[in-house]
Each structure stands twice: as C-alpha cells, then as structure tokens.
A and B are shown apart, each in its own frame.
Chain A
Amino acid sequence: MKTECKDCGAEITVTNDAMVGEIITCPDCGADFEIVSKKEDTIEIKPAESVGEDWGQ
C-alpha cells in the first residue's frame, strides 16, 4: 500500500499490517505522519504530533 508525503510528495510505502494510529515516516524528507484511516486500497494520513516534553513511558 502506498501514499504520498504531504510535505515533499515522495512515495511512502505502508505495510499491510499497519494500523490506524501508527506513525509512518517519509523516507525522503523524514516527516512523520499518523495513519488516520485505512481501507482496501486507500490510506489517509495527517501530520503526526511533534514529540512533547511530557512524552514517554
């Protein structure tokens, strides 16, 4: 499954077992995107939240 980077337009390959909520990274520009929805052949992404001061485990 493939989608297009919203920042640089490069092609991003998404594995079949990727889940909604996962973060994918553009191999060309390094921008992070969150998978918003995933149906048969289409995948919707949005820019991922940047890492916050309070992020962690």
Chain B
Amino acid sequence: MYRKSKMSWLGAAVLAAALAPMGASAQQKDAGAKEQFFPVLSYRTGAYGPNGTPWANGHVDYLKLINSRDGGINGVKITWEECEFGYDTARGVECYERLKGKGPTGATVFQPLSTGVTFAMTEKAPVDKIPVITSGYGRADSVDGTVFKWNFPLAGTYWSAADILVQHVAKKEGGADKLKGKKIALVYHDSPYGKEPIALLQERAKMHGFELVLLPVTHPGVEQKATWLQIRQQRPDYVFLWGWGVMNSTAIKEAVATGYPRDKMYGGWWAGAEQDVVPAGDGAKGYNALAFQAGAGRVRVHEEILKNVHAKGQGTGKEDEVGQVLYNRGMIHAMLAVEGVRQAQKRYGNKPLTGEQVRWGLENLQIDGPALKRLGVEGFLTPLTTTCVDHEGSRKARIHQWDGQKWVYTTDFIEADMQIIKPMIANSAKQYAQEKKIPVRDCAKELQGS
C-alpha cells in the first residue's frame, strides 16, 4: 500500500502550480509608450451579468471616445483591458492582481463595481499605490480621505443615498416631523452592499421617530415570498429597495403579487435601471428610484459617443443601449476617472501617470460648470469638488419614476444632509483607523507641504 505512497507527489502539484502560470504572467513593460492603462473589471456573465453588461459597455465606450475624438487624454492614449470576474470576489482579486501592473505606469485606477471586491481592494490599494474609485457604492466611511487615502466614493455613497430618500419621503409627508410613527421597510440584498445604508437609516429613524423594518434578501434574490409576506403583515408606509440584479425585478413582481403600491416603493440607485423594471412589465409602473447623478437619457456626450464610436462600428454594445441608466453610470464612472487623470496631468505633466499621481488628481478634482460644459454633460451631472478631507465631492441625487416606458424625473436634485452624515463618517473612519492601526493624515499640513 505504501509503496505507491501518494505523498511523494504532493510536492509535484506545488511544482506544477508554480511553473504553469509563470509564462502566462510575464508582463512586458513598455516604458516608452505614451499610454495610460485603465483596468476594467466587469461582469458580463453570472447572476448579475444583465446589470454588469451595460455598465461595462458605457465604461469602455467612453474610454474609446476619448481616444477617437481627442486622441487620448492630452495626447496620452488610453489603453484598457477588461477582466471578467462574474461578481465573484476571489476572481475579482485575481483580476486586480492580473491588471495592476500592466501598461507603462501600471494600472491608473480600479473601479470594481462590487462592494465585496471593493473591500478586498481597500486592503490592497495602499500597498500597491493605486486609487480605487467606488462612485456610488463601496464603504460610505471612505469619504474620509484622512483615513481612506486611496478610496474615492465620488459623487455619492449609500449613506448619502439613504439620506436623500428619507428627505424625499419626509417632504412628501409634509415635513420631517410627520415621519413620526411611520413605518419604513428596507428590503436589502444581504451583503455589505445592502447593509451599508442601515446605519444611516437607523440614525434617521432615531431622529424622526419612524420605525425601520429590516428585511434581508439572500443572494441572488429570486426568493422573496417570505419577505413580502412580512410586508403584507406589517404594512409599511414606504419600502426602500436596496437590491441588485434580478433581486430588483423580483421585488417589484412580488409587490404586484402582494398588492403593495409601487409608488410607495423607492429603490436605491442600483435598483433603478431599465433592467430592473422591464422584466416586471406593467406592474412596474409608478415605481420610484434614486437616479445617481443622471438617470436615463442622452445629452451631448452621448451624441459624440454615437458619432465617434458607434458610427465607426466600434461600439461596445448595442446602439439603443446608449443612454440607459446603467450605461450612463458606467460612462460617468469612466469620465470621473479620466478627469482625475486630466487633473493630475496639470501637476505632473502630460505623460503617463502612476497610480500615486492620479490619486492626487482625484483628490483635487474640480469639475465645475465650464468643465461640465466641456464634457458635454451640463444638466446631467452636478459640479464636483474633492478635497483631502472629502473624497465624495458631490452628494446630490434626483428621484425618477418609471412610467411604463421610460424613467421620468419627479424631483429636482436633493442634497444629502452632511450634518447627520459627517459625524457618522468620522466615527466609523476613526474606528477603522484604530482597528487597522493606520495613521490619520493631517490635511492642513499636507496642503502646506505641497
């Protein structure tokens, strides 16, 4: 029996393991090329593929636009590579490792579009010196740039989002004091993504005296019968939906089945795309959701994408997808990253920049009125200014409603109330810094130094 001992070959596996991938990962570094490398982590397959695809298409289309219309960012050509990770954190980390060293200066910035991968990257980015943009997702407390030096939750966090929803509902009721005794249910994806807004909603519930009912839904969210049974029993005045992918359309269908009025339902900005309402058919009419900056629709930048990318047959996805909610979001995310590079170029010169240099650009973003005009997104985005202390830069959103055919804005921009959020961020970031024993930056001092 032991003559054929398998133990001896144990090491062989380790050997094979070590040898096999070495060839594949040999990365050539072309130091001379004037290129800025953008890694694109995407998920076009798997449970969240239907939502990940338009995002990735919009993202890549914008990068293509910069190359074909402007010849790159001030002459520095953009290169990119997509890495499919199927919303799987382990594969996402593999993609991160695969892409972080590519291009003449390494990866510019990572945008994982997955809270799980964001958390893993938050640990890795400071070591590799690559910024992470989590625009509209990720850790809410990473707004605090003194602790989260490398994270940029640009233009909105879940705390901002939840705050805006509460404000809107309060206004609808006729004032925040009218919320007393009301009941709001949060139907959320049972993951860090879905749990993120809870802290803020609890804070608001304490302030206004409304009751918060927490109803988690397990991944991927196709089974919600029990959840909606509870809603039928508890009869909340409003339902906030914090889902992603198939969970959203399922929730709307269940609301139809339960007879819960759709116009009392408010989705977060990841629960307010065409992919979420179309499968629910007519039942989705009247459903509301937050629009992250812009919802659906086309402005000048879309025309330019159609003219410079799609008309040349280089469109990443289908043409009618241009202007959809998630397409726009992918595009905006790419735009913010490109603007970060542009800003950094002002300081470091028009050449390929390292992640560390781009980080400076992201921290000093100045997207004001004229800049929005130059980008072709006036009225579409709100001005955004980041600082060392504030990595969010802008925290406004509108509510849009599905009329059965398209998304229609029902409010103007609402701004999140920083008086409530700021102390929460400070607390949470402080706890993080203590737990991880990381030094807190002194922004005033850095400003003098630079």
User: Is A bound to B?
Assistant: no
Instruction: Name B residues whose Cβ lies closer than 8 Å to a Cβ of A.
Output: none
